A = this chain, B = another copy of it.
């Protein structure tokens, strides 16, 4: 019998799916794992030069102390335990929203599966929200798919697009720096990641000439079929201008690229003169030769903006000008996972159908929403200002989203030392920062950056007092680090 068992595992690093091995995801990578270890060490009484880890590695607003919107949570509690509808403690508009959602659920329970595409009335509410947002451009609820966060929608769309082998493999254009969900999904699907660089000198804007040369180069070795844009930008915090978006749409039309617009930060716009323009609205303003033809998928989520409800994994995507047969395949594909989480669908509904003037919850809702967005705007400004006082750190304005992505000058000696350790120089920097100060940031190399440049991504989410401590520590650390390696 023994011979049978003295054997290797069936599933080993050598026999497993190689595309999975290629996946990387910096936002929860080695720095974050080390940060969690350090937190454990602190709890166990290990002495450190700091007493707490401050995490600015992930866009997780509630974890950083942001309070949920009262109205949303009231309706979710009512949906979870409908007996509460008989209590006097909830405002009528919250009860009405809950009743409407429950009525649309099988058996009146959020515990039933919904239709795979999402609850009908939620998709209708999403469609009306999009129409309001885009100044009346029509939206068909049949083109709206509720998702498990935006990530799920993005991966599903990429899955539809990807095919081919060798020189005919599908290429997908993504911005560099990028949000690593894109590179991870492309690696897993075996597609070709086609990089186009954002222009750091022009506040991370998109250059058409860069798009053109990146595409031309890619066409030599793959079949580029899609162009992804994140606006407002992650990790770079820019807000693209209307003119830029128009240029991108014309480029996609001319070059026959499927557009994927990641617009999860659509309410997170802080800088004076900046405004969110949805790709769909601009597409329709360009006239029917564009709006009847260019294929577009746009993604939104409950996780960001003023609500920050990441844990619920709510989201939607809208597809525009999708081929009818492909859309049938999309509908089939989403049915295999049965449905997105119903509490997340309910929350998405509340976001697109929030309290209206005259309703009992309107004033509180607006107060909470405005306070959260104002505070974020303040912290965006604070972050940019303080970072720019540090010699060797240059930070673009945080126009929107939740991140700054400053450029850091690293001394030659530190670069050499990092390379000797087999580490990216900014990983070396961030790891040292973590060990010495307890501050957890993500190195720029996890998002991609121009060769020879170094960055880190830092969220603006910590409470103001902690954010100030964090920025002061970064300043001090950077000066010390520069001195040490000069």
Contacts and interface: CB of A to CB of B under 8 A. Distances in A.
A77 interface: yes
Contacts of A411: none
Interface in A1-33: 1-2, 4-5, 7, 9-13, 15-18, 20-21, 23-25, 28
A172 to B, nearest CB: 12
Given A5-B289, A335-B25, A77 B66 contact: no
Interface string A57-76: 01011111110100001101
Contacts of A80: 73, 76-77, 80, 343
Nearest to A322: B11
A152 B159 CA distance: 16
A325 B107 CA distance: 45
A163 interface: yes
Interface stretch (A129-137, A304-312, A358-366): A304-312
A28 B113 CA distance: 11
Interface stretch (A252-260, A261-269, A414-422): A252-260
Given A23-B333, A341-B312, A225 B63 contact: no
Contact of A113 (B226, B292, B310): B310
A73 to B, nearest CB: 4
Contact of A109 (B116, B290, B311, B342): B311
Nearest to A342: B311
Contacts of A63: 106-107, 109, 112-113
A293 interface: yes
Contacts of A338: 28, 149, 151, 310, 313
A193 to B, nearest CB: 14
Interface stretch (A81-89, A436-444, A450-458): A81-89
Contact of A81 (B76, B161, B188, B226): B76
A107 B64 contact: yes
Contact of A336 (B61, B185, B336): B185
| Number of copies of this chain that the complex holds | 2
Nearest to A259: B10
- Give the bracket for the number of chain A residues in contact with chain B: 35 or more
A17 B203 CA distance: 36
A37 interface: no
Contact of A310 (B76, B112, B256, B322): B112
B25 A332 contact: yes
A448 B237 CA distance: 51
Nearest to A19: B163
Contacts of A258: 10-11
A325 B337 CA distance: 28
A239 interface: no
A317 interface: no
B58 A113 contact: yes
A418 to B, nearest CB: 22
Contact of A5 (B16, B68, B253, B308): B253
Contacts of A25: 332, 335-336
Nearest to A36: B115
Given A16-B161, A20-B160, A341-B344, 8 more contacts: A12-B325, A16-B160, A58-B113, A64-B107, A80-B343, A110-B311, A148-B148, A152-B337
Interface of A: 1-2, 4-5, 7, 9-13, 15-18, 20-21, 23-25, 28, 36, 58, 60-66, 68, 73-74, 76-78, 80-81, 84, 87, 89, 105-107, 109-116, 148-149, 151-152, 159-163, 180-181, 184-185, 188, 225-226, 253-254, 256-258, 289-290, 292-293, 295, 307-313, 321-323, 325-326, 329, 332-333, 335-344
5 contacts: A15-B163, A15-B225, A16-B163, A20-B160, A77-B78
